[in-house]
């Protein structure tokens, strides 16, 4: 078994892992943004 065959067998799991890591960034921003007004209020700051 050469290196190319070894890579082709693992490519579906690699794509799933890469897609999951990409989705985590987008989901974390979507969860963080609605809380910004509360964070501003907790730290008693003004909107910049």
Q: Are 39 and 46 in contact (CB under 8 A)?
A: no
Residue for token digits 């799991």?
A: 13
Is the Cα dihedral 15, 16, 20, 26 positive or negative? positive
Please provide the size of the chain in residues: 48
Strands (E), 1-48: none
Task: Using pLDDT thresholds of 50, 70 and 90, give the confidence band for residue 12.
Answer: confident
Higher pLDDT, 17 or 48: 17
Taking residues 5-15, what's their average pLDDT? 74
Which whole number is the average pLDDT over 28-37? 93
Start-to-end C-alpha separation, the chain:
59
Q: Is the pTM of this model over 0.85?
A: no
Confidence of residue 29 (pLDDT cuts 50, 70, 90): very high
Model confidence at 19, in pLDDT bands (50, 70, 90)? very high
């Amino acid at each position: 078994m050469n290196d190319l065959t070894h890579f082709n067998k693992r490519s579906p799991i690699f794509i799933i892992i890469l897609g999951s890591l990409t989705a985590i960034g987008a989901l974390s921003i979507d969860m963080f943004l609605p809380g910004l007004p509360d964070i501003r209020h907790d730290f008693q700051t003004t909107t910049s």
